[in-house]
Each structure stands twice: as C-alpha cells, then as structure tokens.
C-alpha cells in the first residue's frame, strides 16, 4: 500500500478562480486589455458576481493573469545581465522580450501602460531598472551608441506590438526580424547620424468601434 495521503480535491472556489484566470489570459492575449469583465466571466463559465468576488477590480485580475509572463520577462533580463559581454546580453534581452511580447498582446499593453489607473504589474520597475543598467554597461563598453536612452527600447516594444500576422508563428518571425533591425540601429557605428532629441512615447489610444 502507498504511504501517500490522498490529495485533497480543489474547492469549487479554486476551480472558479483558475477558470477565470485561464479565460482572462486567453482573451487578453488575443484581444488586449479592453475585453469586458462580463466577457471574461462568460468565457470562464461563471457569473459576474463570482468573478468580482475573486477579483474586485480589473487591474487585480490583469496583474495576476500576467504574473507568469512577468516572471519569464524577469528571467530573460537576469540572463542578459549575467552575460559578461553587456552588448551580447542586451541583444539577448531585446530579442527575447520582443518575442515574448509578440506572443501576447495583452501582456505588452499591461507592461507598457503608463495611463492613470493602469494596472500595476508587480515587478515591472525591477525589469526596467535592470535593463537600464545593462544598457549603461553596453555604452561603457563602446558597443551601444552613446545617445541611446531607455525610451528608445519602449519605442521598439510599442512598434513591435503593432506587428500583425495571420498566425502567432508568423508574428514571432516578423518580430525577430524587427528586433534584428532595431539592434543594428542601436549598435555603435561611425556612419550613424545622431538621434533626434529623446521623447517619451505615449501608449496608443484604444481604437474606436
């Protein structure tokens, strides 16, 4: 006989919570953050009251739904920062983060959002700070152009978000090409003209019906 104790079945409440998160991830990834809460409840097979009992505010649902993506993003940044060659590490970060965002439109919107009341994706500040430090190291090594600023990377992510394709695989392939072109622009080269003055981009407004 096995000495293992029988596993305790998950409660109905936990099942509901899991279904809500699964539905939210799928809808946010496909349609962005503007998906109505009622549509998430419908996809999850629960009533609105059940959804709001678990997630009283949409921003709370968004933060938890993207926790796994954010952990993957942090792992990418940590991998890049650990590389003794800061330019190679920065290339890895930009390539892999662009691919991660190409796979999930909703995560890109949550990560880039700076609007009042935007969802607070826990740990985003850590990621931004770490990439900024890596970029400074690449500049000190003479590989990253000296007029690069972190907002340039935000521009890349916003442009990457605009890539549309018939399938996820095609979108990822296009994102990889785009990241390679961006890195060519970022690398130090005496033939590059100076960049225009830095400007903080604003997230695009949601498209009207």
Out of 2.30.110.10, 3.40.50.880, 3.30.390.50, 1.10.10.60, select the CATH number for domain 12-65.
Answer: 1.10.10.60
The model's pLDDT over 193-207, given as tens digits with 9 standing for 90+, comes to 566 676 554 554 555
Q: For residue 1, what are the CA distances in angstroms to 4, 5, 6?
A: 9, 11, 12
Higher-confidence position of 177 and 118: 177
From the CB of residue 38, how many other CB atoms can be counted at a distance below 10 Å? 11
2.40.128, 1.10.3470, 1.10.357, 2.60.40: which CATH number matches 67-186?
1.10.357
Looking at the chain, which residues constitute the CATH 1.10.10.60 domain(s)? Answer: 12-65
Give the C-alpha separation, 3 to 185, whole Å: 61
Q: Boundaries of CATH 1.10.357 in the chain? A: 67-186
CB 28 within 8 A of CB 35: yes
| Three-class SS state of 88 | helix
Helix, coil or strand: residue 187: strand
pLDDT in tens, 130-143: 999 999 999 999 99
How would residue 190 be classed by pLDDT, with cut points 50, 70 and 90? Answer: low
Of 93, 92, 109, 103, residue with least CA distance to 169: 103
Least confident among 60-64, 69-73, 102-106 = 102-106
pTM of the model: 0.74
């Amino acid at each position: 006989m096995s000495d293992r104790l029988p596993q305790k079945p998950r409660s109905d409440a936990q099942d509901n919570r899991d279904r809500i998160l699964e539905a939210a991830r799928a809808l946010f990834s496909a349609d962005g953050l503007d998906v109505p809460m009622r549509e998430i409840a419908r996809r999850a097979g629960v009533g609105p009251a059940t959804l709001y009992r678990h997630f009283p505010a949409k921003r709370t649902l968004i933060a938890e739904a993207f926790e796994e993506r954010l952990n993957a993003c942090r792992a990418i940044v940590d991998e890049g920062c650990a590389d003794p060659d800061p330019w190679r590490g920065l290339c890895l970060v930009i390539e892999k983060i662009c691919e991660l965002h190409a796979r999930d439109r909703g995560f890109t919107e949550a990560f880039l959002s700076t609007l009042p009341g935007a969802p607070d994706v826990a740990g985003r500040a850590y990621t931004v700070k770490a990439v900024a430090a890596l970029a400074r190291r690449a500049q000190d090594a003479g590989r990253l152009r000296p007029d690069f600023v972190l907002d340039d990377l935000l521009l890349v992510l916003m442009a990457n978000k605009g890539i549309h394709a018939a399938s996820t695989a095609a979108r990822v392939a296009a994102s990889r090409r785009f990241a390679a072109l961006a890195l060519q622009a970022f690398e130090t080269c005496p033939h590059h003209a100076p960049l225009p003055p830095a400007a903080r981009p604003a997230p695009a407004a949601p498209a009207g019906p």
